[in-house]
Every structure is written in C-alpha cells, then in structure tokens.
Amino acid sequence: MSVRLLSHMGAVLAALAILVLQGCATSADKTRGMRQMMELNRHDLALIEAEKHLESEVEGVMENMNVGLLRRLNKDYTGSNKAFALAKAKISELYTISLSQQVGAAMTNDENIDFQGYKFEQVLVHLYMAANYLSLGDIDSSRVELMQSQVKMDEWGEPKDETPFMRYFSGIMFEMLGEEDTATVSYRKAVDAYRNTKEKHGLNVPLILKHDLLRMLARMKLWGEYKDYKKQFGLSKYKAPQTKGMGELIVLFGNGLAPQREEKVFQTYSTALALNIKVAVPDYPNPPVVLNRVRLHVNNKYYPLEIVSNIDGLARAALSEDMPGITARAITRAVIKKKTEKEAGNKEGLGFLGQLAMMAINQGTEIADTRCWNTLPQEFEMARVFLPEGKHKIEIEVVGPTGIVLDTVVRNVNIKSARKSIVSKRWTAPEIKIRPVQSVGKQGAPTILKAPVAAPAT
C-alpha cells in the first residue's frame, strides 16, 4: 500500500472518528447534567443547562417543555408559559408526521422524527400553564387551558389516552371558579379515567377524589347518584364535612424525578442478511425509585399526602406501547445500513475504504431515541384539608424509610371562609445553602471555611 494511500486512509479515519464521537451522544447523555442539578434541588442551575439546549433547538418541544417547567420552579411564571406556549404550538403543527421524517429515520435514527411528547405529556403542558396563570392571578386564561385540555382528551376519544389527574385538577379549579356543575362533571370523569387507565399507572381511584365527588353530589342534592357512588366506593359511612366558616387548604406536591430513557443495544438475527445485526432502542433500565413519604402537619394534626398521578408508570406504559414499532424500525434501519456498507465496498475506487467509511457513518448515526420530558416529577401527591378561617402555619414533612424527617417545608397560609388556598411544592432533595463555618488555623486564628449545610426548602 502506498504512502499516499495510507495518508488518505488516516485522514478519512480521523474524520470518521470525530463523526462517530459526535453522533453517539444520545439525548439522555446531553441532558444528564440538567437532571443531576435537579436531583440536588438546584433548579437555578438546571435551568441554565436547559436554556443552553433550547438555544440550539428553539422550536424543540422537549426543550421548551423542560425550560417551561424549570422557569416555573424558579418562579418565572410568565417566562414559563412563553416556553409552554411554543411547545403547544409546535405539537399542533406536528399533529401529522411527514413521510420525509419517516424516511429520514429509516436511514439514520428515530431522533429525525420530531418529538411531540406522549399524550399524557401534552396534557400536562395545559396543567402547568393553568397553574402559572393562577399564580399570575389570570383566572380567565387559566380556565382556557383547562377547557383546552378537556377538549383534547374528549377528541382523542380513547379511555386509555386519558390523563386522570388532569381531569381531577380541572375539577378542583372549576370548583375554585364557582362552577360547581362543571366541577362535578370533571370529578365524575376523573373517577372513570383512573379506572380506565389503572393498567398504565397502577393507581386506584384516590380516596380524596372519592370524597370530593361525594361532597359535590351532596352539595348539588343529587341524592340518587350520591347513594350509588357511596356503594361503588364502599363508603357507606361517609358524611359530607361541615364547612361553614371554613376554607380549604390544598397541598400539591411533585415528588422525585420522572424516569430517564436510556439506550439499550442488542443483537438479533436478520434473515434478509443471514447474519446478526446490532440494534439500538430506548429503554427504562432501572425500576422506579422508592420515594420518601410525605405528610402535612397543621394544627397539631398529621394528614398523609395521597398519590394522585404516577408519571413514572405513565411514561413506562407509553414506551412499552410504542416498542413494537420502534423495534421494527430499528431492525429495518440496521438491515438498510448493512446493505449500504456492502454497496460502498463494491463501488469502484472505494473498496475497503468506502466500506469502512460507511460503517463508521452508520455506527455514528445509530442511536436510540431517548428523548422524553425528563424534568417532570415521578409522581404528584395531594392533600385537601378544611381549616377554620384565619392564619395557619403548615409544615410539609418529607419522611425517610426509617421514620426520620429529612426535610420540612414551612408555609404560612391565610385561610378564608368558602375559599381554597393552593400550596404547591416540587421536591427532589433538601435545599443546600453555603454557610460559613469557623475552624482554627495553625496560628490559632479563626479560618472561615465554606461548607454545605442542609436547609429547609422554601
């Protein structure tokens, strides 16, 4: 082999090595730093990472979902809704996936298909936007988001596509707006949605939802339906609470971090090629994290928070449903790529170098689609408590497996008669702040050291 040919081969291989290294980074790899910051409860630093990703994908649905959620956690409700609105508009635009994207995915990888998010993720965009508008005092816009989410789920028309917590949350909001008829309808639909989607998230109808529906049916004097649901729920002894002169505290707690898709590589036999081929697909390799218990402490009483949405379960179920199609595309793609390698090797003037170059390109572009809304909580938990009118100090306690309180979130809430007050909190770990610590130096003089000390979340 000539020196000139060796030189050309070295240059080609060097260029291809760079291509492979650049191409092998999955979405999970790119957002790992952002999630690590979230795991430490550093939402400010996580937002900086998310904004960097948004710079390169300004219209990206996943990128705007992550930025929208993190801006909310940093109390930028207007900026949060701006990002969510962009994600929502892009989802509508991508309602029909183009044929060209499917063809592109067959030649490279599934990340060439625009990310739209799963249906439960699309609905949760409306939930967060409604919550943002509520924080901004824009009740009318909040109601619009609620109605849009209801219309979207109704149009899908498939019970399995429901997001039960969105139905439940909408009922709460309609009740706050004084629309008791609409709230009752939403609570009914929420009960049905939990029942119809239990296989996905593993949740029964939450007890607090059962109480809410019965309370509203009693309030509306729909006694026949009231008795029927009492029997269905097995709550024959239920009595609607006395709420005169009382207001309601609603605590909504986002616990943990949604699962992250990772790349799974396996080999399978191709009859078309009569050899084994390597295939990359997304997977949730780890089981759900066992989360700490959460309880509400107010007026010397403890109230457990109940799980009302299992995001982890919804995400895993959605991927499982898509896996046959994903795997079929991956196998087809692997066969096509092997054929292109063989064809490149047979081309005059290319030979082994051409085949090697095509192999490198194919390997560099063969990654699993690990995109997902990975800043969501693992689950939503909730408590609803009627309290006397006035100021109350509430404590949300995160309790570890040994019964030790790991963190306490303290809030002062002003409860008003016949009104509802919502306290929301996202938690992954106790907040860490830097506090100066004194130690004695060699000469006996105090030396100031900076050490991380756990502090209550706010």
Domain spans in the chain, listed from the N-terminal domain onward: 3-246+264-281+313-375
Cα 331 to Cα 326: distance, rounded to the nearest angstrom: 9
Cα 345 to Cα 356: distance, rounded to the nearest angstrom: 8
- Residue 144's identity, in one-letter code, is V
Residue 59 is encoded by which pair of tokens?
């219209």
Q: What is the pTM of this model?
A: 0.84
pLDDT at 114: 86
pLDDT at 6: 42
* Kind of pairing between the strands at 293-298 and 420-427: unpaired
Q: Are 396 and 377 in contact (CB under 8 A)?
A: no
Q: Are 308 and 209 in contact (CB under 8 A)?
A: yes
Cα 413 to Cα 208: distance, rounded to the nearest angstrom: 21
- Produce one character per residue of 24-54: b if its CB has 16 or more CB atoms within 10 Å, e if not: eebbbeebebbbebbebbbbebbbebbbebb
pLDDT at 345: 55
Question: Which of 252, 81, 258 has its CA nearest to residue 169?
Answer: 252
Cα 378 to Cα 372: distance, rounded to the nearest angstrom: 13
Cβ atoms < 10 Å from Cβ of 182: 19
Residue 425 is encoded by which pair of tokens?
């909190």
Averaged pLDDT in 10-residue chunks for the chain of 458 residues: 46 47 74 96 96 92 97 98 97 70 54 87 97 94 95 90 96 94 97 95 96 97 97 95 93 97 86 78 93 96 97 96 91 74 57 52 69 97 97 97 95 95 94 50 37 33
Q: Are 84 and 113 in contact (CB under 8 A)?
A: no
Residue 401 is encoded by which pair of tokens?
């497996």
- Evaluated on CA atoms 273, 277, 281, 284, the torsion sign reads positive
**CATH class entry, domain 3-246+264-281+313-375:** mainly alpha
